[in-house]
Amino acid sequence: MADEIKTTQEEQAESRNFIHAFIEEDIAPGGQYEGMTVHTRFPPEPNGYLHIGHCKALTIDFGTAEKYGGLCNLRMDDTNPTKEDEEFVEAIKEDIHWLGFDWGDRFFYGSDYFEEDYRQAVGLIKKGLAYVCQLTPEEFKEYRGSIGVPAKSPYRDRPIEESLDLFERMRNGEFPDGAMTLRAKIDLASGNFNLRDPVIYRINHLPHHRHGTKWCIYPMYDFAHPIQDALEGITHSLCSLEFENHRPLYNWVVEHGDLPSRPRQIEFARLGIDHTVLSKRKLRKLVEEGKVSGWDDPRMPTLCGLRRRGYTPRSIRNFCERIGVAKSANVVEYSFLEHCLREDLNETAQRVMAVIRPIKLTITNYPEGQRETVTVENNPMDPAAGTREVTFSRTLWIEADDFLPEPVPKYKRLYPGGPECRLKGAYLITCTGCVQDESGNVTEVLATYDPESRGGDPADGRKVKGATIHWVDAATAVDAEVRLYDNLFSDPDPDAADKDFLSCLNSSSLEILTGCKVEAGLVDAVFPASFQFLRQGYFCLDSKDSSPEHLVFNRSVSLKDSFKK
């Protein structure tokens, strides 16, 4: 790592990985899983694309298995018949592979256990631990009780035979949606409402994306999940904190079902990031309402969006490792994610010169028609990256803001009568004036160069007082479109419950610049190569819209680090 100073996040990561502590206890001599292989699973619901919050979960799931030489299953949580889609299944697999994790041949669908879920439910009824309840949804609400007031159901003590018969007929499609449910018989007076005889099956006459109309009853997540875990031999079922209150129910199913193993559920805090939303429902809304160009819009916190933006797998994995695994809610600064990317690209990205808001510079004492090449380094952080040749001539493009007709205090760049400046890798120049149009706009900057300063250093060792600026030879420069991104939301907390997240959008989150001038060599660039545009930031080709005829670059992250350690 380039940076030896530990961030607060990293210190927390080291001291707070309580999951590892629990696992080590479990596999130690005398522990409940002594001698067993640590086995985790990542269970995404295929109803949207993975986002950075999922990355935290899957880094924990796959990373924990890796750490203990164990296994991690990928399981599509598709027990709910609504909304699931094969498109998302493939995208989820692609995203996980891209991050560098692999599930081998352990890919499953939660819905493949429907038959077994049903068998488990029948087993519970037979043990007197589940019953068919015919409360209407309205009655159900009315009878759920409150703190200190138990829930009630007149069907609780119906004979086992009657529940068995009704449950089978539910399966056979004899009843409409909502007519009855199967409930676990646990404790109507429990202080934990999840244990107040929770519904474990409901009727839903919706076809399932993989099983068609075979089923019209579907198991609830809290019932299906522990069964799936136990059938797959999962030892540690790691999930986010909202399931903490469901753990007693998870354990109840594991204890009372007829299951081959006893997995343990451990919860960790969900990841929140400022200036963005991390909920598939909200992300979908942004797409549907056209607020972004799609799930892979480079401003989206989705993995496909981050990838298109130029994020590397290494930067995201580093981020997930460094934010740590805490039990208390953690909102991380978006600037920390950017910091992790910058750190990675600083080591690996090739440096190039690109002028994004160009103005012409003419070197009046450089012979017309003359051309030469100068050598510039590809990456000062990595000498092995070598050097490249760029052409130089009398007419160059420079950034418009590297020139001012009248200097402001402390301005060290080009202005008439100003200090000598260095053209990166080429020559020293002194500004002599400019050309303006009738309305006073500067159309061309004029300068003279010191022919003895080739490479950028004066022959007599005099001090160069002005700045080093980047440039591109106008004769060989290639046009490009450059897209500059800012936070998608101007409000730091658009996800807050009391806010309409759509009204928190940042109206200037995308700025498109055309007619930018880049080094000719960039025509050969291929996604996902990243470049540092000197003095500007890190950029990558847009994987969708860029072509050699029309180059489009996305700014992945600026050079300025706003993350405070």
Just list the catalytic residues: 45, 270, 280
Query: Which part of the chain contacts Mg ion (CB under 5 A), choosing from 38-46, 185-193, 289-297, 553-561?
Result: 38-46
User: In this structure, what are the phi and psi dihedrals at residue 283, rounded to the nearest 5 degrees?
Assistant: -65, -40
CB of 302 vs Mg ion, minimal distance in Å: 15
Query: Which part of the chain contacts ligand ATP (CB under 6 A), choosing from 42-50, 176-184, 352-360, 382-390?
Result: 42-50
Site for ligand ATP in 96-135 (CB under 6 A): none
Core vs surface per residue 529-557: b (16+ CB within 10 A) or e: ebbbbbbbbbbbbbbeebeeeebbbbbbb
For ligand ATP, which is the closer residue by CB, 90 or 389? 90
- Among 7, 134, 194, 240, the residue binding ligand ATP under the rule CB under 6 A is 240
CB 538, CB 552: distance < 8 Å = no
Q: Which of 214, 213, 179, 215 is nearest to 199 (CA)?
A: 179
- Please tell me whether residue 239 binds ligand ATP under the rule CB under 6 A: yes
CB of 77 vs Mg ion, minimal distance in Å: 7
Q: How far apart are CA 516 and CA 261, in angstroms?
A: 62
Query: Which part of the chain contacts ligand ATP (CB under 6 A), choosing from 43-51, 186-194, 296-304, 340-348?
Result: 43-51
CB 160, CB 126: distance < 8 Å = yes
- Please tell me whether residue 278 binds ligand ATP under the rule CB under 6 A: yes
Q: How far apart are CA 261 and CA 236, in angstroms?
A: 11
Q: Which residue has the tokens 């129910």?
A: 249
- Please tell me whether residue 303 binds ligand ATP under the rule CB under 6 A: no
CB of 318 vs ligand ATP, minimal distance in Å: 17
CB 45, CB 78: distance < 8 Å = yes
Other residues' Cβ atoms within 10 Å of the Cβ of residue 480: 24
The amino acid that residue 60 corresponds to is: I
CB of 45 vs Mg ion, minimal distance in Å: 4
DSSP, res 96? H
- Among 26, 45, 481, 491, the residue binding Mg ion under the rule CB under 5 A is 45
Query: What angle is formed at CA 83 by the lines to CA 80 and CA 88, rounded to 5 degrees?
Result: 105
- Among 16, 23, 53, 246, the residue binding ligand ATP under the rule CB under 6 A is 53
- Among 134, 192, 279, 476, the residue binding ligand ATP under the rule CB under 6 A is 279
- Please tell me whether residue 44 binds ligand ATP under the rule CB under 6 A: yes
54 binds, among Mg ion, ligand ATP, none (CB under 5 to 8 A by kind): ligand ATP
- Among 17, 40, 43, 310, the residue binding ligand ATP under the rule CB under 6 A is 43
Query: Which part of the chain contacts Mg ion (CB under 5 A), choosing from 44-52, 54-62, 326-334, 505-513?
Result: 44-52
- Among 16, 39, 56, 247, the residue binding ligand ATP under the rule CB under 6 A is 56
95 binds, among Mg ion, ligand ATP, none (CB under 5 to 8 A by kind): none
Give 252: exposed, middle or buried? Use CB within 10 Å, 0-12, 13-18, 19+: buried
Q: How far apart are CA 380 and CA 347, in angstroms?
A: 9
- Please tell me whether residue 444 binds Mg ion under the rule CB under 5 A: no
CB 505, CB 490: distance < 8 Å = yes
- Please tell me whether residue 277 binds ligand ATP under the rule CB under 6 A: no
- Please tell me whether residue 337 binds ligand ATP under the rule CB under 6 A: no
Q: How far apart are CA 441 and CA 444, in angstroms?
A: 9
DSSP, res 385? G
Query: What angle is formed at CA 98 by the lines to CA 94 and CA 104, rounded to 5 degrees?
Result: 70
Give the start-end residues of each E strand in 400-504.
Answer: 421-423, 428-436, 442-449, 468-469, 472-473, 478-485
- Please tell me whether residue 266 binds ligand ATP under the rule CB under 6 A: no
57 binds, among Mg ion, ligand ATP, none (CB under 5 to 8 A by kind): ligand ATP
- Please tell me whether residue 282 binds Mg ion under the rule CB under 5 A: no
Q: Which residue has the tokens 């900057």?
A: 445
278 binds, among ligand ATP, Mg ion, none (CB under 5 to 8 A by kind): ligand ATP
Handedness of CA 20, 107, 83, 177 (dihedral sign): negative
Site for ligand ATP in 147-186 (CB under 6 A): none
Q: Which residue is nearest to ligand ATP (CB)?
A: 53
Q: How far apart are CA 299 and CA 98, in angstroms?
A: 19
- Please tell me whether residue 26 binds Mg ion under the rule CB under 5 A: no
Counted residue by residue, the chain has a size of 565
Q: Which of 235, 212, 217 is nearest to 179 (CA)?
A: 217
- Among 12, 36, 45, 94, the residue binding ligand ATP under the rule CB under 6 A is 45
257 binds, among ligand ATP, Mg ion, none (CB under 5 to 8 A by kind): none
Q: Which residue is nearest to Mg ion (CB)?
A: 45
* Residues at the site binding Mg ion, with contacts judged by CB under 5 A: 45
Residues contributing to the site for ligand ATP (CB under 6 A): 43-45, 53-54, 56-57, 77, 239-240, 270-271, 278-280
